[in-house]
Amino acid sequence: MLFAVLGLSAAAGGGYVASQEASQYFFSGVSSAEATAALVDGRPVPGFSSDAREAYAELCLLAAPSLSGRMLAADAADRLDRSCMKTVAALAADNPVDAFMPYAEARLAYQDNDEARFSAALLQSNARAPNEYWLVIRRVELSERGFAMLDAAAQAAELRDIAVLASTRSGSRALAGRYVVNPSFRERVTKVIEQLPVEQQGQFLSYVRLIGQGSGGRQ
Model pTM above 0.85: no
Question: How would you classify residue 151: left for phi > 0, otherwise alpha for psi between -120 and 50, otherwise beta?
Answer: beta
Is pLDDT above 70 for 158?
yes
Q: What is the pLDDT of residue 107?
A: 97
Is pLDDT above 70 for 19?
no
Average pLDDT, the chain: 85
Is pLDDT above 80 for 131?
yes
